[in-house]
Structure 1
Amino acid sequence: MKNIKNKNKQNKIESLLNSISDNAPGIIILARFDDGVIYQAQKGLANITQNQLIDENSVFNLASVSKQFTAFSILLLAKEGKLSLDDSILIYLPELCAYAKAITISDLVFHTSGLIDYMELAFERGISYTTPLTPEESFADIVKQTKTYYPIGSKFEYNNTGYFLLSQIIERVSQQRFSVFARERIFEPLQMNDTFIVEEYPTINPIVSGYAKNAQGHYELSESPWTHTGDGAVHSSASDLMKWGENFSTAKVGDAELIAKMTQPFSNFTRDGKLVIDYEAYGFGLFINHTLGEISFEHSGGWMGTSTYFMRFPQSKLTLTVLSNRENYDVDLLATEVAKTLLN
């Protein structure tokens, strides 16, 4: 990756990592225009004990950046006529109580279902991020609920339950594990060879180690044994995410109509014509923003030992990602600074 167009911009991007120690958990910035011009900077370690450097092929837990792949999978199945976005989720998840009949697949995608976050349900049972929790246990928690947190479709409230349930729907409709479906239908066709869904922790897959600072200010390993998919669990490299970003223009996987639908924010009006409370312009696993004078598709991810950010600028045909194995790192601010450097 040596095709650098502007040395001043490259130097500015590298300077953004001046505060990162060479001997601590690290970060990578990678930005690529579809014409092949690349800007890259990285610093720090993928694994402290092994003294392994981070590079563009290091594989990170994407956390909620994963959601766009879940939503894309739903669109692929809808395109094939195997489900409709307006279908009640009870068609595919009949274990849920009758109140869920009014919840559509679209409500799960757009965070308007009113379902309580499965993480909150776990916390109510005394389970923490470091306590084992299986998808089956979380599904059972959801099944026990008898009402929604707010009227269905009335409010935007970011929620992990919706995307976790979407992965369950994908599995039941496709009759494949979500990890297999995503690999065969998205990752392999795009030659995203370092991208996969992890369904068991710890994993034998080659991924970076995640870290968080302890009370004494020293970095220590930080990971969760949770094995849920849909809302997270996609692991990928900065290099692979460039291939994914370019697909927004090429539609090598999917087609132009599918990509257009994926990047269209949902309506700010409810089914009965009222304004959606706390509305945010959200598409299929992506926030649709106006950044630096043009539309951007973006999403952040944060989980134990990982902080991630993905941006796609369709007008400039630019894909930008910032990945770190530091917990709670301000990757969003860093991504914005990189975008300013490249697009101003």
Structure 2
Amino acid sequence: MKKLIISIMLTNAILLASLCSQTLPTENLSEKIDSLMALQQKPDEPGGVITVIHNNKVLHQKAYGVMDWEEGTKMTENSLIDLASVAKQFTAFAILLLEEQGKLDLDADIRQYLPELPEYEYTITVRNLLQHTSGIASTDLLRVFGDIHFDVEWTHQDDINLIKKYAQLNFEPNTSFEYSNGGYALLASIVESTGGMHFAEFLRENIFEPLGMNSSMVNYTAGQDLQHMSKGYRSIPDGFEHISSVNDFSYGPGNVLSTLNDMILWGQNFLNPKLGNEQMMERIFNPYNTLENGDSIMYTYGFYVRTHRGLRAVSHQGGVPGFTSNLAIYPDENLVIIVMLNNESIRSIAMTNAVAGLLLSDKFTPVEPEKPKVEIPLATEKAEPFQGTYRMEDGMEMTFAIEGDEFWILLPGDTRLRLYPYSETSFLMKEIEVFVSFIPENDGEVNQMIWRQHGRDNHASRLIETEPLTQEQLALFAGDYYQPYLTTDYPVLLEDDRLKIMMPSSIKRYLGFESVQLSHIRDDLFATDFLGMMEFTRDDNGQVNGYTIFSVGRLKDIIFLRK
């Protein structure tokens, strides 16, 4: 009996210690969060909703601002907000439910469930789609490069048709990570093929209704009841502009609409699962897979898993024109923070982190202050080897030059910035907080430079002067070209002794340029001023027959053929 009593006492002590370790400073929490939002928007401006859940108890839930700025309609806890890419967690959860039901295998070839897809060069698994390691191109970039504007009506089937049309993979599956909306569109189709019903119906019957999320829905077709739907805005000098889409009905990667009250139920399910189980949550909360090179994949099932100030953070952000959202889970603290905004000018991740800071500051790893950087006089004779033009890996060129007793950089667009020396080889651009470090070789020559910004190092190499191409040589590259999968024209023109690629109207509209200038590097290799590096290709007879743009983010090795 004594042993039993001691065992019970120990168990209670451990439980009490666990609860104490999860105690958070909640005094005046709502007032503090209100103050954070007050710094971002006024009560009569577009805002959003925020909730904080700890140990499955709601510590804060509130709506801010207006859902319709023109009409002045207040945002409420039952206003629908577009979750954008936060919707991916619902798609991934549906896949996990189907796996649990024995209806699909995560390591099966996706063509087992979608036989209408092209026969790709490599096998792509369901798991590849879930973790963004499939190589499937992202449909948002395909639309931009295919001259498909975002204000035209667009459906899920349009997404699938586009994926089938663009049969080229970015890379061999599981050799790289590249976020892909196309992959999650395919997952939605797999839910339909294995679940035996429309994706919207599956989410309603298997996720929304069991959790009581009675207002949540998939915006998959026109004519649904959207009377409580918020409008999405961005700030402009004289107010706000309504920019949210009314014609996008694609789903899988996005287009789930939900409310604050519903998302509280969704957040609580991660802490105390009514749907799924604790084992499923552990799979979501922990990275478990690696790429072929051994690198860990920090994306699990609709969530990134990262360390934030020393704490495990499981989160996903979403953004579409006019809306931005973020859902963050701190599993070891039993904490969920959800921020959903109809004002894209407010950063949902920054707001989430600010709220987390109110609660977890005592648990966060302290940020060590940087050692003070002391400016030193410019030693012009030692800086002379740094002068010249360098090219970044993405093709951007910059020129460094000494003028009097000052060191300057010339950036694209004729932007000139002064460099302030902090060591014999390191300089700071104060205006944009960029550090530049030059790397002398053993013989004193300098051919490499590191551009450090936002904690990331980008490498650049000195441009070696080559004999410029003649007008006749440049003319060999000019001509009519097109992207064969997207059937979109990308002609190359020769004007004023410079080659340039003309862009379709969608790129001008969404990326802000109508052409890219080409700078010759060597042989058939060129740098562009906006799209990185590219190279012309030749046929067996040595005639120019196309070109390849190497990388534009979520699209790799884009092929263009000569007509």
What is the one-letter code of the residue matched to 2:49? I
What is the one-letter code of the residue matched to 2:141? E
Per the alignment, residue 29 of structure 2 pairs with: 9
Is the contact between residue 220 and residue 251 of structure 2 (CA under 8 Å) also seen in structure 1? Answer: yes
Alignment of 1:71-220 (within 5 A): 71-99=92-120, 102-201=123-222, 203-205=224-226, 206-214=228-236, 216-220=237-241
Is the contact between residue 56 and residue 268 of structure 2 (CA under 8 Å) also seen in structure 1? Answer: no
Per the alignment, residue 324 of structure 1 pairs with: 341
Query: Partners of 2:221 and 2:50 in 1: how far apart?
Result: 28
Query: Partners of 1:186 and 1:34 in 2: how far apart?
Result: 21
Q: What TM-score, normalized by structure 1, do the two folds share?
A: 0.91
Per the alignment, residue 26 of structure 1 pairs with: 47
Question: Given the superposition, is the C-alpha separation of residues 100 and 302 from structure 1 closer, same or farther in structure 2, using an over 3 Å criterion?
Answer: farther
Cα offset, 1:325, TM superposition: 0.5
Cα offset, 1:55, TM superposition: 2.7
Instruction: Provide the secondary structure at the position in 2 that maps to 1:319.
Output: strand
Query: Partners of 1:187 and 1:313 in 2: how far apart?
Result: 23
Alignment of 1:275 onto 2:294? yes
Q: 1:61 aligns with which of 65, 68, 82?
A: 82
RMSD over aligned CA atoms reads 2.0
Cα offset, 1:217, TM superposition: 4.6
Instruction: Provide the secondary structure at the position in 1 that maps to 2:312.
Output: strand
Per the alignment, residue 250 of structure 1 pairs with: 272
Per the alignment, residue 381 of structure 2 pairs with: none
Larger deviation, residues 102-111 vs 242-251: 242-251
Per-residue Cα deviation, 1:236-268 (whole angstroms, up to 9, x for no partner): 112222211221232211122222222232423
Question: Given the superposition, is the C-alpha separation of residues 79 and 94 from structure 1 closer, same or farther in structure 2, using an over 3 Å criterion?
Answer: same
Question: Given the superposition, is the C-alpha separation of residues 282 and 268 from structure 1 closer, same or farther in structure 2, using an over 3 Å criterion?
Answer: same
Query: Partners of 1:90 and 1:334 in 2: how far apart?
Result: 41
Count of residue pairs brought into register by the alignment: 335
Cα offset, 1:227, TM superposition: 1.0
Cα offset, 1:208, TM superposition: 1.0
Is the contact between residue 87 and residue 255 of structure 2 (CA under 8 Å) also seen in structure 1? Answer: yes
Query: Partners of 1:152 and 1:269 in 2: how far apart?
Result: 9
Cα offset, 1:179, TM superposition: 0.7
Is the contact between residue 56 and residue 271 of structure 2 (CA under 8 Å) also seen in structure 1? Answer: no
Question: Given the superposition, is the C-alpha separation of residues 6 and 98 from structure 1 closer, same or farther in structure 2, using an over 3 Å criterion?
Answer: closer
Per-residue Cα deviation, 1:250-307 (whole angstroms, up to 9, x for no partner): 221112222222223242332xxx234xx65111000112224332211001002211
Q: 1:259 aligns with which of 281, 289, 306?
A: 281
Alignment of 1:304 onto 2:321? yes
Q: Which has the higher strand share?
A: 2
Give unmatched runs, 5+ long, in structure 2: 1-23, 362-563
Query: Partners of 1:263 and 1:98 in 2: how far apart?
Result: 33
Q: What TM-score, normalized by structure 2, do the two folds share?
A: 0.57
Give unmatched runs, 5+ long, in structure 1: none
Q: Percent identity?
A: 31
Per-residue Cα deviation, 1:318-340 (whole angstroms, up to 9, x for no partner): 22111110125311001001011
Cα offset, 1:220, TM superposition: 2.2
Instruction: Provide the secondary structure at the position in 1 that maps to 2:37.
Output: coil
Query: Partners of 2:288 and 2:153 in 1: how far apart?
Result: 35
Question: Given the superposition, is the C-alpha separation of residues 221 and 322 from structure 1 closer, same or farther in structure 2, using an over 3 Å criterion?
Answer: same
Per the alignment, residue 480 of structure 2 pairs with: none
Alignment of 1:313 onto 2:330? yes
Question: Given the superposition, is the C-alpha separation of residues 104 and 305 from structure 1 closer, same or farther in structure 2, using an over 3 Å criterion?
Answer: same
Query: Which one scores higher on RCO, CA 8 angstroms, separation ≥ 6?
Result: 1
Question: Given the superposition, is the C-alpha separation of residues 48 and 195 from structure 1 closer, same or farther in structure 2, using an over 3 Å criterion?
Answer: same
